[in-house]
Amino acid sequence: MDIRVRNIVKDYGRTAALEGVSLDIASGELVALLGPSGSGKTTLLRIIAGLDVPTSGQVFFGEEDASHTPVQDRNVGFVFQSYALFKHMTVLENIGFGLSVRDGKTRPSAGEIRRRSMELLDLVQLSGLEKRYPGQLSGGQRQRVALARALAVEPRVLLLDEPFGALDAKVRKDLRRWLREIHERTGHTTVFVTHDQDEALELADRVAVLNHGKIEQIGTPDTIYDRPETPFVFRFIGESHAVPVMVHDGKVWLAGQPILMAAGGLSEGPAALHLRPHDVEFAAHAGDALPARILSVRRSGPTRRAEIRLSDVEAVFEIDAPAALTVKPGEERPVRILRGRVFPV
Amino acid sequence: MRSVVPGFGVALGLTLALLTAIVLLPLAALVLRASELGFAGVAKLAMEPRIFAALKTSFGLSLAAAVVNGVFGVITAWVLVRYRFPGRRLLDAAVDLPFALPTAVAGIALAALYAPNGWVGSLFAPYDIKIAYTPVGIFIALVFVGLPFVVRTVQPVLAEAEHEIEEAAATLGAGRIRTILRVLLPPLTPAILTGVAMSFARGVGEYGSVIFIAGNIPYVSEIAPLLIVVKLEEYDYAGATAIALTMLTASFLILLGLNALGSWSRRRYGVVR
Amino acid sequence: MSDSPLRAVAPPLVPSATLTRAASTVRLRPATEDPPVLKYVLIAVAVLFLALFLVLPLVAVFVEAFRKGAEAYWTSLQDEDAVAAIKLTLTVAAIAVPVNIVFGIAAAWCIAKFEFPGKSLLVSLIDLPFSVSPVVAGLVYVLLFGAQGLMGPTMKAYGIEVIFAVPGIVLATIFVTLPFVARELIPLMEEQGTTDEEAALSLGAGGLKTFMRVTLPNIKWGLLYGVLLCNARAMGEFGAVSVVSGHIRGVTNTMPLQVEVLYNEYNAVAAFTIASLLALLALVTLALKALLEWRYADEIAGTHRR
């Protein structure tokens, strides 16, 4: 089932949580809503579910305008950050709850509810734990029960709020892979909220980056990482540093030198060059490189990370240095800018 | 592990000394007196028709009042926690009135209200319905004294219930009433039962608020605590002791049951966040 | 420099006129909100129930007290026995409340700040008076100190009267109010732990100084809360006191007992006059209690915070 969100505005009193958000999600797609806290990502998810009522705007499930359908009738599967399992029910009763509260005709028989709940329990790899209570499960197990419970109602769309937020790092990674597998097997249209960029990039078909109640950019993980459209997306995805530059005569100037970048579409005047650590390298000799001084060096995984200061501008940033290269703090060494994004200031 | 904080000996000594002198020693006197009677003696006295009738009145009406308090207490707690309306704080404070108002004051006020010529009693008098000076009057007084227990045990549990539990039920298709009955109320059961049991225990021992409205007719509207007073006035210490011991045993069993209930629900539901 | 923005938005498939109409007709309720009908019915039930059972009796007390006018009220108040009852009630509370404070602080100190075997038993024993009928509380003192009691004859030989005298009333009052302060302080002091005290001790403060300067300021509002409830019960206690007092007018009648005596003599106005003073005490207690819960929420025990 494809989902379309149209011009959603949500005001909480005076402050706006969402300022006109529109989003199309294709059937079977796995989409991440990524953003810092307060960006409105959870509010958007809750509005799609029908848990929150937007101030204005519409939500479509396929051709159907679901904007005025109460949450009970929207047929969504929602997994809460805290899981919100029913503590007084066993695992099996939790999973079967959605089916057992259906009205007369549409309610399956008790045996059928049990059979389907057991099937889902198997899907989430918790067979044998059906008689346990949520209090007797680990965090990761609870998460799986919450997912099975949401899937049991055969939802039109699966919505997950920070699905791995409450788990420790190791369990997070395992569950991430496992969720991807489940998605591939069941083919549900899935939307999940996260503040963790790694999680969003690794798991999602497409990522929508939210900031201050607006979608800054939406695209595949590659697009988002390689071609960020706004300074915010650049900063939020991966490490980055900004260096002041000038746009003049169709060229980008840094410290009085034109650098290897076209300034198409940018207006004349000051701008900001955004760089990731691997966008800059140490040059063998001065030539067209920029003079710089190394401030400090530290180990970072397979490479070393050097903090440098460009000699002619007030700009400090970090670059990756190959482990084979000997660099020392205090040393003068020219650098060459390979890539980067220029945004108006 | 030894603590560096001083004063343990003094504090414990003072606590035990006062507790022993004020509570334990006098209660021991009761047990000692009862032991002179023996189990059979106490049982025989408790089965004496007038005493038995009084115990039945006290326990039966307390149970009825506790159940009514269970229903209205849960509704009151729900209203106080879930809704915002003008006067809510005042209503909340009023719940504690039975804790704060001396029982004798409540007793004469209830008697005046429910007497055939009182504000409420006069509404029923034309239909030949008597409230004061009958077991119904006792029941009303017991509802009065027991109400705060249920409200005050259920209120904090309800306030801490996760909002998301209800939302989860809603996304799974459960309507509002069904969510309340199947998702919200079951976890409250231990708190409700605790409140009902406390209300019941208080009712069994209640004296001041009941005696003015009860009419105190032997075999009909005479409560067990009053009969203790009557027996004392007749210098029938054995009878008084037998009634007291039966009541104490009952409240002890209720406390035991409450503890068992608490640990059962903790074992079953664990501590889930 | 930047790529052309991805098309995140597709044109709506439904004509916008249809959407606007739908938007104006239905108002969605948030998922956790009750239907208004249910909400108002439940509020009405709770308000009516509390009004009928709790507020009406309170109103009745004042109405009955002034039934024959303010003058009769003042006359009843100035009655010699009434004044004696008020004095006795104040005296009893003046003894019982300090004993309670001492007991409450001592009990909370050893239970909250230390680990020792039998601790949970001690906690249960402290709660015991709450589960004993007030009449039984009076009875045990009669059995102990009465004329036929275990220690009665011995006491009498030394000229000490307990039963049908003020000491019995004080003892019975202490019995029924004993848990109040302790119950308030134990959870509060457990929450606070021992770090503040350890810090003070490490800075060189002595035990007493640590208590006065560190512990006491931390628990003062909780203590006041306990004292408030204890005082209300001490002044209003009826059952336990009734058994040991002997109802001697002007001598062993506390205010609640005087209420009973007057009421049984069909002197309703006088009975309700004294009752109105006690009701006033209850109202003041409730108001102060609400104030403490509201103003000092973080400094009283967790169960009272709203």
**C4 pLDDT above the threshold of 50:** no
Taking an 8 Å cut-off on Cβ atoms, the answer to whether B104 and C57 are in contact is: no
The confidence score (pLDDT) of residue A49 equals 93
pLDDT, tens digit, for every residue of A137-165? 998 899 999 999 999 999 999 999 998 88
Domain final residue, candidates C46, C65, C84:
C65
Residue C157 forms contact with A (CB below 8 Å)? no
Q: Please tell me which residue, B256 or C186, carries the higher pLDDT value.
A: C186
- Among partner residues B96, B102, B105, which is closest to C286 by beta-carbon distance? B96
Residues of chain C found within 8 Å of residue B100, distances taken between Cβ atoms:
229, 232, 236, 281-283, 285-286, 289
Residue C139 forms contact with B (CB below 8 Å)? yes
- Single pTM value for the model: 0.84
Taking an 8 Å cut-off on Cβ atoms, the answer to whether B175 and A101 are in contact is: yes
Judge if C10 and C84 occupy the same domain.
Answer: no
Judge if C20 and C82 occupy the same domain.
Answer: no
Taking an 8 Å cut-off on Cβ atoms, the answer to whether A97 and B169 are in contact is: yes
The answer to whether the beta carbons of residues B168 and A78 sit under 8 Å apart is yes
Res. B2 pLDDT band, cuts 50 70 90 = low
Cα separation, C136 vs C243, whole angstroms: 9
Cα separation, B224 vs B50, whole angstroms: 10
Type of residue at A43 = T
Helix, strand or coil for residue C147? coil
Res. C124 pLDDT band, cuts 50 70 90 = confident
Judge if C19 and C107 occupy the same domain.
Answer: no
The answer to whether the beta carbons of residues A233 and A34 sit under 8 Å apart is no
The domain in which residue C24 lies consists of 1-32
**C261 pLDDT above the threshold of 90:** yes
Taking an 8 Å cut-off on Cβ atoms, the answer to whether B171 and A135 are in contact is: no
Taking an 8 Å cut-off on Cβ atoms, the answer to whether C8 and A208 are in contact is: yes
Q: Please tell me which residue, A227 or C299, carries the higher pLDDT value.
A: A227
The answer to whether the beta carbons of residues B147 and B97 sit under 8 Å apart is no
Res. C36 pLDDT band, cuts 50 70 90 = confident
Task: Show Cβ contacts of residue C206 under 8 Å, excluding neighbours closer than 6 positions.
Answer: none
**A217 pLDDT above the threshold of 50:** yes
How many H helices and E strands in chain C? Answer: 16, 0
Here the tokens at position B209 are 């608020």
The confidence score (pLDDT) of residue C3 equals 40
Res. C22 pLDDT band, cuts 50 70 90 = very low
- Among partner residues A68, A223, A265, which is closest to C28 by beta-carbon distance? A68
Q: What is the mean pLDDT of residues B6-32?
A: 92
Distance from CA of C64 to the nearest CA of B (A): 8
CA distances to A87, A263, B259, B262 from B265, rounded to whole Å, are 10, 69, 10, 5
What is the phi/psi pair of residue B270, to 5°?
Answer: 60, -170
Residues of chain C found within 8 Å of residue B228, distances taken between Cβ atoms:
135-136, 139, 243
Cα separation, B154 vs B78, whole angstroms: 9
Residue C28 forms contact with A (CB below 8 Å)? yes
CATH number at residue C125: 1.10.3720.10
pLDDT, tens digit, for every residue of C125-162? 998 898 899 999 999 999 999 888 888 888 888 888 88
The confidence score (pLDDT) of residue C302 equals 62
Residues of chain A found within 8 Å of residue C26, distances taken between Cβ atoms:
68
Res. B256 pLDDT band, cuts 50 70 90 = confident
**B68 pLDDT above the threshold of 80:** yes
A80-89, A224-233, A320-329, range with the lowest pLDDT: A320-329
Residue C70 forms contact with A (CB below 8 Å)? no
Residue A51 forms contact with B (CB below 8 Å)? yes
Question: Chain A to chain B, count of Cβ pairs less than 8 Å apart?
Answer: 83
Judge if C173 and C55 occupy the same domain.
Answer: no
In chain B, domain spans: 35-269
Residue A300 forms contact with B (CB below 8 Å)? no
Residues of chain C found within 8 Å of residue B27, distances taken between Cβ atoms:
128, 132, 140
Taking an 8 Å cut-off on Cβ atoms, the answer to whether C1 and A53 are in contact is: no
Judge if C55 and C97 occupy the same domain.
Answer: no
Taking an 8 Å cut-off on Cβ atoms, the answer to whether A51 and C5 are in contact is: no
With pLDDT > 70 as the criterion, what percentage of chain C qualifies?
89
The answer to whether the beta carbons of residues C54 and C283 sit under 8 Å apart is no
Q: What is the mean pLDDT of residues A112-128?
A: 92
- Among partner residues C1, C5, C22, which is closest to A262 by beta-carbon distance? C1
Distance from CA of C301 to the nearest CA of A (A): 27
DSSP 8-state code for residue C304: G
Judge if C121 and C15 occupy the same domain.
Answer: no
Judge if C5 and C92 occupy the same domain.
Answer: no
The confidence score (pLDDT) of residue B271 equals 44
DSSP 8-state code for residue A178: H
- Among partner residues C110, C122, C232, which is closest to B8 by beta-carbon distance? C110
Q: Which residue of C has its CA nearest to A22?
A: C9
Nearest partner of B154 among B93, B66, B76, judged by Cα: B76
Type of residue at B126 = P
Res. C303 pLDDT band, cuts 50 70 90 = low
Res. B270 pLDDT band, cuts 50 70 90 = low
Count of CB atoms situated within 10 Å of the CB of C134: 25
- Torsion (CA) C113, C119, C120, C125 in degrees, nearest 10: -110
Res. B138 pLDDT band, cuts 50 70 90 = very high
The DSSP result for C106-129, as a single string, is: HHHHHHHH---TTHHHHHHHHHGG
pLDDT, tens digit, for every residue of C66-81? 999 999 999 988 999 9
Distance from CA of C34 to the nearest CA of A (A): 13
- Torsion (CA) A183, A184, A185, A186 in degrees, nearest 10: 50
Res. B269 pLDDT band, cuts 50 70 90 = low
Taking an 8 Å cut-off on Cβ atoms, the answer to whether C1 and A23 are in contact is: no
Res. A178 pLDDT band, cuts 50 70 90 = confident
Residue A133 forms contact with B (CB below 8 Å)? yes
Residues of chain C found within 8 Å of residue A263, distances taken between Cβ atoms:
1
Taking an 8 Å cut-off on Cβ atoms, the answer to whether A229 and C5 are in contact is: yes
Judge if C56 and C21 occupy the same domain.
Answer: no
Judge if C38 and C25 occupy the same domain.
Answer: no
Residue of C181, C238, C273, C278 best to disrupt the B interface, most CBs of B under 10 A: C238
Distance from CA of A218 to the nearest CA of C (A): 6
Q: Across chain B, what does the average pLDDT equal? A: 90
Here the tokens at position C48 are 């009516």
Residue of A43, A48, A72 best to disrupt the B interface, most CBs of B under 10 A: A72
CA distances to B26, C113, C203 from C214, rounded to whole Å, are 37, 14, 12
Q: What is the mean pLDDT of residues A279-283?
A: 86
Q: What is the mean pLDDT of residues C85-91?
A: 95
- Torsion (CA) C97, C102, C108, C113 in degrees, nearest 10: 160
Superfamily of domain B35-269 in the CATH hierarchy: MetI-like (1.10.3720.10)
Task: Show Cβ contacts of residue B31 under 8 Å, excluding neighbours closer than 6 positions.
Answer: B245
Cα separation, A78 vs A156, whole angstroms: 11
Here the tokens at position C78 are 């100035």
Taking an 8 Å cut-off on Cβ atoms, the answer to whether C10 and A4 are in contact is: yes
Residues of chain B found within 8 Å of residue A88, distances taken between Cβ atoms:
186-187, 189, 268-269
Here the tokens at position A125 are 């790899």
Q: Which chains touch A (3 or more CB pairs under 8 A)?
A: B, C
Count of CB atoms situated within 10 Å of the CB of C65: 24
Residue B14 forms contact with C (CB below 8 Å)? yes
> What is the rounded end-to-end Cα distance, in angstroms, of chain A?
41
Residue A314 forms contact with B (CB below 8 Å)? no
Residue of B172, B180, B182, B183 best to disrupt the A interface, most CBs of A under 10 A: B172
**C6 pLDDT above the threshold of 70:** no
Taking an 8 Å cut-off on Cβ atoms, the answer to whether C133 and B252 are in contact is: no
The confidence score (pLDDT) of residue B4 equals 76
Distance from CA of C82 to the nearest CA of B (A): 15
The answer to whether the beta carbons of residues B230 and B51 sit under 8 Å apart is no
Helix, strand or coil for residue C218? helix
Taking an 8 Å cut-off on Cβ atoms, the answer to whether C8 and A218 are in contact is: yes
Please tell me the total count of domains within chain C.
Answer: 3
**C104 pLDDT above the threshold of 90:** yes
Res. C10 pLDDT band, cuts 50 70 90 = very low
The confidence score (pLDDT) of residue A240 equals 85
Distance from CA of C45 to the nearest CA of A (A): 28
**B273 pLDDT above the threshold of 50:** no
Cα separation, C72 vs C84, whole angstroms: 18
Res. B113 pLDDT band, cuts 50 70 90 = very high
Judge if C281 and C214 occupy the same domain.
Answer: yes
Distance from CA of C41 to the nearest CA of A (A): 23
Judge if C52 and C104 occupy the same domain.
Answer: no
**B167 pLDDT above the threshold of 80:** yes
Cα separation, C270 vs C75, whole angstroms: 9
CA distances to B60, B128, B246, C110 from B65, rounded to whole Å, are 9, 23, 20, 38
**B160 pLDDT above the threshold of 90:** no
Pairing of strands A303-310, A316-321: antiparallel
Judge if C104 and C53 occupy the same domain.
Answer: no
Helix, strand or coil for residue A238? coil
Residue C17 forms contact with A (CB below 8 Å)? no
Helix, strand or coil for residue C195? helix
A116-130, A302-316, B172-186, C50-64, range with the lowest pLDDT: A302-316
Q: Name the H helices within C165-238.
A: 166-177, 179-192, 195-202, 207-210, 216-236
Q: Across chain C, what does the average pLDDT equal? A: 86
Q: Which residue of B has its CA nearest to A48?
A: B171
Taking an 8 Å cut-off on Cβ atoms, the answer to whether B22 and C175 are in contact is: yes
The confidence score (pLDDT) of residue C23 equals 42
Residue of C40, C66, C101, C110 best to disrupt the B interface, most CBs of B under 10 A: C110
Q: What is the mean pLDDT of residues B169-197?
A: 90
The confidence score (pLDDT) of residue C172 equals 96
Q: Which chains touch C (3 or more CB pairs under 8 A)?
A: A, B
Nearest partner of A162 among A175, A149, A153, A181, judged by Cα: A175
Question: Chain A to chain C, count of Cβ pairs less than 8 Å apart?
Answer: 69
